[in-house]
Chain A
Amino acid sequence: MNYFLTEEQQMIKDLAAKIAAEKAVPLVAELDETEEFPWEVMKTLASSDLFGVYLPEEYGGFGGGVFELCLVTEELSKVCCGMGVCYAASALGTLPILLFGNDAQKQKYLPDIAAGKKLAAFGLTEANAGSDAGAVATTAVRDGDFYVLNGTKQWITNAGEAEVYTVIALTDKAKGIRGASAFIVEKGTPGFTFGKKEKKMGIRCSATRELIFQDCRISKENIIGREGMGFIVAMKTLDRARPGVASQGVGLAQGALDHAVKYSRERVQFGQAISSFQAIQHMLADMATQTEAARALTYAAARMIDSGDENISREAAMSKLFATDVCMKVTTDAVQIFGGYGYMREYPVEKMMRDAKILQIYEGTNQIQRNVIGLALIKESAKKK
């Protein structure tokens, strides 16, 4: 389908596809096995300027937005969803600074992030604060010119590999979530360490660790926005990052579909390629239609965000929900088309199905996305009265 990309957007997409094909593909199976971070691919993305596509030109970026971010994420996720998330999670960690940071913070952090010299990560989730993000217990206590952080963030993507962390912590426990604030914490700050690397079902080349704060003192300059704005920072960030997760789903689904189409033409049973059977054709047709619909919704949501519209929670949630549910289904069907071979690690779709599952869980489970959409519908209806 033609999405009428600008010349620049097409260039970004082609470049990301080239990196995926030439640099990522040879490493996909190996890194899934060894669970090593795809630094080589990240470095190529950096030297090709792709970490800056969504950042303003004044901070060394390309001047694009969420849409450009989605294009790169999709192309990477087509070959490896794990590499896709390493890239996209850095943007997630950067968005709080981009959206709410002051100019000094932007000057200090964005150019290195745009150049890919530093990765970023976002720290919200805790052991007892998953879907219930309001239950965060990490604290940040003001002490003169400093804040002192204590607590543990869990399952943080890019943790340990990233240099710049945006973290949500309570500055006023009594106020609950209205007492939350967002902070920038740099790797290497005394009192800031990482937990062990988690063993995951899929996206195994990506790094997932705890962020552990023990009397970690950071300058008061590191607060993003004002005290008490933390939850708003987190929610606005997630709204803008959701099409990014959706584009992981779109890319991964497309990758699985491409493998399934190719395989169905090669695999001979009953004396003919299985692609000649209507049963297979109909599966492929559904997979392709759903993937394209997911892409259209994702691009539309991303473009809506980039237009400056503030009222985007519903559309962002829809794109994440739909594209990642589609992705789970399409990757499962790809394994089905591959049959027994699809279940084997020697073939690519087994990993793709494992990778797909997390997309329905992280950055807001798909049940939470439905809550967001439902709530928006009710609010809208209530306004009309």
Chain B
Amino acid sequence: MNIIVCIKQVPDTGSVKIDPTTNTLIRSGVPSIINPFDMNAVEAGLSLKDTYGGSVHVITMGPPQADEALRNTIAMGADNACLLSDRAFAGADTLATSYTLSMAVKKIGDFDIILCGKQAIDGDTAQVGPELAEILGLPQMTNVSKLIEVKETTIVVEQELEDGCEIVEVERPCLLTVTKQVNNPRIPSLKNSMRAKKAEIPVWKAADINADEARIGLKGSATQVVKIFEPPKRTDRRILQGDVEEMVTELVTELRKRL
């Protein structure tokens, strides 16, 4: 079972702030982490490998620093990793990103399953996984909350829906995006951490994956972020105090006024 996992390095949103004058993210001094859902995707890949054998190949598109994120996945047990990094990739929206990833997947070639996190916590679009599947012409299942069984040519998974779950059997090769429910990401081992430190992580540029220049980076993007802003803070909040009955009465009165 050969698995490709796509990950993204994101700013730790717990500590990100927005500059009120320019409305841009203040990234300096903010630690980068692997998108938490992508950690679940890595773990899903590793546990499939533990059970069925094969290999786990992790890819990411990003600046040179994203090398660190890839090393962390090797420390968890991934076999290989490669970094898609080129100035020409800069400014990519989800469409250009998924095209770029698709070209890397084609270069890697042999795979049974592609795993992605269900969305990234910075952009929250949840588009890259589905777009990647479309570009590659693969069946896809989003919001997978459980990997149930691998059969000869299929995989059975549980998909989270708004009002419940459904169990679906998907033809392989396929692409799955996973939720937090799917597993608990493992802690790295010392041996794999040592391996990660020494691992050679190739950097692939646009030419290395035969990418069409018109479809990558800003040029290949169908959307553009026009403005980022922080919604105005609510200033009319009140914390009620006193005994429970008084507070409830007051709360009900206030709510009635607003009906």
Contact A49 B186 (CB under 8 A): no
Residues of A within 8 A of B187 (CB): 15, 18-19, 22-23, 44, 47-48
The interface-forming segment of A5-13, A192-200, A356-364 is A5-13
Contact A49 B197 (CB under 8 A): no
Q: Mark B209-233, 1 if CB is under 8 A from A, else 0.
A: 0000000000000000000000000
The interface-forming segment of B11-19, B134-142, B175-183, B188-196 is B188-196
Bound-state CA distance A50–B188 (Å) is 11
Residues of A within 8 A of B188 (CB): 15, 18, 48
Contact B197 A15 (CB under 8 A): no
Residues of A within 8 A of B194 (CB): 8, 11
Bound-state CA distance A47–B46 (Å) is 14
By size class, the interface of chain B is under 10
Residues of A within 8 A of B197 (CB): 7, 11
Q: Is A62 an interface residue (CB 8 A)?
A: yes
Q: Mark B109-138, 1 if CB is under 8 A from A, else 0.
A: 000000000000000000000000000000
Please name the residue on chain B nearest to A53 by beta carbon. B190
Contact A11 B190 (CB under 8 A): yes
Please name the residue on chain A nearest to B192 by beta carbon. A49
Report the minimal beta-carbon distance from A8 to chain B, rounded to whole angstroms.
7
Q: Mark A27-62, 1 if CB is under 8 A from B, else 0.
A: 000000000000000001001111011000000001
Report the minimal beta-carbon distance from A64 to chain B, rounded to whole angstroms.
10
Residues of B within 8 A of A23 (CB): 187
Bound-state CA distance A53–B191 (Å) is 11
* B146-199 with Cβ < 8 A to chain A: 186-191, 193-194, 197
Bound-state CA distance A47–B190 (Å) is 9
Residues of B within 8 A of A19 (CB): 187
Report the minimal beta-carbon distance from B184 to chain A, rounded to whole angstroms.
10
Residues of A within 8 A of B186 (CB): 47
Quick one: which of B191, B193, B197 has the most chain A CB within 10 A?
B193
Chain B interface, DSSP helix/strand/loop, else mixed: helix
Tally A-B pairs: CB < 8 A.
Answer: 31
Report the minimal beta-carbon distance from B245 to chain A, rounded to whole angstroms.
28
Report the minimal beta-carbon distance from A190 to chain B, rounded to whole angstroms.
36
Please name the residue on chain A nearest to B190 by beta carbon. A49
Residues of B within 8 A of A12 (CB): 190
Bound-state CA distance A47–B193 (Å) is 12
Please name the residue on chain B nearest to A18 by beta carbon. B187
Contact A62 B190 (CB under 8 A): yes
Residues of B within 8 A of A48 (CB): 187-190
Residues of B within 8 A of A8 (CB): 194
Residues of A within 8 A of B189 (CB): 47-49
Please name the residue on chain B nearest to A19 by beta carbon. B187
Report the minimal beta-carbon distance from A214 to chain B, rounded to whole angstroms.
41
Q: Mark A51-85, 1 if CB is under 8 A from B, else 0.
A: 01100000000100000000000000000000000
Bound-state CA distance A49–B194 (Å) is 11
Residues of B within 8 A of A7 (CB): 197
Report the minimal beta-carbon distance from B192 to chain A, rounded to whole angstroms.
8
Please name the residue on chain B nearest to A64 by beta carbon. B190
Residues of B within 8 A of A15 (CB): 187-188, 190, 193
Bound-state CA distance A350–B74 (Å) is 40
Report the minimal beta-carbon distance from A22 to chain B, rounded to whole angstroms.
7
Residues of B within 8 A of A44 (CB): 187
Report the minimal beta-carbon distance from B75 to chain A, rounded to whole angstroms.
9
Bound-state CA distance A52–B190 (Å) is 10
Bound-state CA distance A19–B186 (Å) is 10
Residues of B within 8 A of A49 (CB): 189-191
Bound-state CA distance A62–B191 (Å) is 8
Bound-state CA distance A191–B187 (Å) is 39
Report the minimal beta-carbon distance from A172 to chain B, rounded to whole angstroms.
43
Bound-state CA distance A53–B187 (Å) is 16
Bound-state CA distance A12–B194 (Å) is 10
Bound-state CA distance A49–B193 (Å) is 10
Bound-state CA distance A22–B189 (Å) is 14
Report the minimal beta-carbon distance from A55 to chain B, rounded to whole angstroms.
12
Quick one: which of A19, A49, A50, A53 has the most chain B CB within 10 A?
A49
Bound-state CA distance A11–B189 (Å) is 10
Please name the residue on chain B nearest to A44 by beta carbon. B187
Bound-state CA distance A62–B187 (Å) is 18
Bound-state CA distance A7–B196 (Å) is 13
Bound-state CA distance A12–B75 (Å) is 12
Bound-state CA distance A47–B189 (Å) is 6
Bound-state CA distance A7–B177 (Å) is 36
Please name the residue on chain B nearest to A62 by beta carbon. B190
| Residue contacts A-B, CB under 8 angstroms, 15 given | A7-B197, A11-B190, A15-B187, A15-B188, A15-B190, A18-B187, A18-B188, A23-B187, A47-B186, A48-B188, A49-B190, A49-B191, A50-B190, A52-B190, A53-B190
Q: Spell out A's residues near B (CB within 8 Å).
A: 7-8, 11-12, 15, 18-19, 22-23, 44, 47-50, 52-53, 62
A7-B197, A22-B187, A23-B187 known, 11 other contacts, Cβ within 8 Å: A8-B194, A11-B190, A11-B193, A11-B194, A15-B190, A47-B189, A48-B188, A48-B189, A48-B190, A49-B189, A50-B190
The list of the 9 closest CB pairs from A to B, nearest first, reads A49-B190, A48-B189, A49-B189, A11-B193, A49-B191, A48-B187, A44-B187, A19-B187, A18-B187
